[in-house]
Amino acid sequence: MELGLYLHFPYCISKCPYCDFNSYQLEEANQIYSYISALYREITAYSQKLKTGNIKTVYLGGGTPTILSGTQIFNILKFCEDKFTIDKNAEITIEANPGTLDGEKLKLLIESGINRLSLGAQSFNDVFLKKLGRIHNAQDIINSYFLARETGFANINIDIMFALPDQNTEDLQDTLKKAVSLKPDHLSLYNLTIKPGTEYYREYKRGKLNLPTEDEEYDMYNWVIDFLEENGFEHYEIANFARPHKKSMHNLIYWQNKPYLGIGAGAYSYIRGYRYMNYENPVKYIKETMSGKLPKDNGERLSLRKRMIETIILGLRTKDGVGYKKFKKRFGVSLNDIFCRQINKLVNLGLLEKSYVKIKLTRDGIFLANVVFREFVD
C-alpha cells in the first residue's frame, strides 16, 4: 500500500486571531519534549501495524513545526525513516513560519531529508501582518526565503491569504506581485474565512471587521487566477498554483482520495476505506499514546456512496476534475449513471463543465465550489 504520511505539530509562538487550526500557544519547552515522546510511540505502533506501507510523501504541518529545534526535527525524521519504508524520492515538506527560521535550522532541515519548504507568509504588507497577529514582518519573509534558497531548498511554497479585513484589490495585487517577484515554485492562496471560536469571529459578531463584499472577493480571486497564470503558474487546485513539475505531491494524495496516515494530535488518517481522527487536545493525545493506546478519538468506515461522493468532491477541487474511466475503474459503476441529476443541474447552472472524458469546475464553479459540493452531498 502506498501512503502519504502527515505529522502534526500543534504548538505556535502565539495564536493568530483568525486561526481555528488545532494549534496552541506554547507555554513551556517541556510540552514539546512530551509531545515528541508521544509521536515516537505512535510512529512505533503504526510501524508494527502497517508493515507493508510504502510512504510516498511526508508532510510536517501544524501549528508551527519549525518551533522545534533543527535537531528535534532531524531526529523525528530519522526515526520515521527507521520505522517506515519511505520512498527514496519522497517529497518531504515542512510548514515554516518566517519568524522561526535561521541558517542553522534550515541546514538541519535539509540534512534531515526535507526537500520542500512551505512558508506561511500570508501578506507582504506589515499593516495586515500585524492585524493578522503574525510574528513576522514582510522583510522577515524575504530574508527567510533567500536564506532557504541559499541553504539549498529547490522547492518553496508561499502561503498567502486574501479577502482580509480592510483589504482591497490593490493591496492584494501589491502582496502577490511581491510574492511572485521572489520566484517561488508554488503559491497557495486562501481567502480568509471567519471561523467560530476565533478572536476574529467575536470581532465579526460585534460588527468590527470590515470584510470585502462577495463581489470584491470574486474580483480579487479572478485577478489572482489571471495574474498567476500569466506569470507561469498552473492553477491546478482551487487554492493552489504551481510552476511546472512543482505541484504538491502530498496534497494530491488527499485530492485523489488516496490513503494517508496522520500522526499527532488531531491528525486524520484514511486507510483501507476507514477514516479516523486522533484526539485533538495535545494533553489528551500524549496521555493516551503514552499509556500504550492508539490515540484514536473517532472514526468511521465509509460506505461505497460516501467514498464516491468524497472522490468527486476532492477531485473537483483539481483542474483535472473527475475522469469517467478512473471513476468506473475504482467503483465499478458509471459516474454519469449514478450522479446524472446533479451533473446535469450543475452544467445547466454553468458551474460544471462536462467533456467526453471528465467533469470539472468552470471558473464560476471554482468560486462557488461549496454550492457544487453540496449538490453531491444532499
| Chain contacts with ligand SF4 (rule: CB under 6 A) | 12, 15-16, 19, 21, 23, 62-64, 97, 120
In this structure, are residues 191 and 217 in contact, taking their beta carbons and an 8 Å threshold?
yes
CB of 130 to ligand SF4, least distance (A): 13
Shortest Cβ 194–ligand SF4 spacing (Å): 14
- Closest CB to ligand SF4 among 192 and 313? 192
| Strand partners for 322 | 359
Min CB(64)–ligand SF4 separation in Å: 5
Report the residue number, 64 or 175, with the smaller CB distance to ligand SF4. 64
Nearer to ligand SF4, 44 or 198 (CB): 198
Report the distance separating Cα 376 and Cα 5, nearest Å: 28
Number of alpha helices (DSSP H) and beta strands (DSSP E) in the chain: 16, 17
Of 6 and 367, CB closest to ligand SF4: 6
> Which residue lies nearer to ligand SF4 by CB, 26 or 225?
26
Min CB(22)–ligand SF4 separation in Å: 8
User: Residue 100 contacts by C-beta under 8 Å, 6 or more apart in sequence?
Assistant: 13, 64, 66, 67, 135
Instruction: Provide the minimum distance between the beta carbon of 16 and ligand SF4 in the complex, in angstroms, as a whole number.
Output: 3
C-alpha cell at 47: 510501524
Compute the least distance from the CB of residue 143 to ligand SF4, in Å.
18
The nearer residue to ligand SF4, 192 or 253, going by C-beta atoms, is 192
Residue 116 gets the label, from left (phi > 0), alpha (psi -120 to 50) or beta, of: beta
User: Residue 59: how many CB atoms within 10 A of its CB?
Assistant: 25
Please report where in the chains the cell 459578531 appears, as a residue: 205
DSSP label at residue 203: H
Counting Cβ atoms within 10 Å, is residue 170 exposed (0-12), middle (13-18) or buried (19+)? Answer: exposed
Between CA 317 and CA 327 the distance in angstroms is 15
Residue that is written with C-alpha cell 511581491 in the block:
178
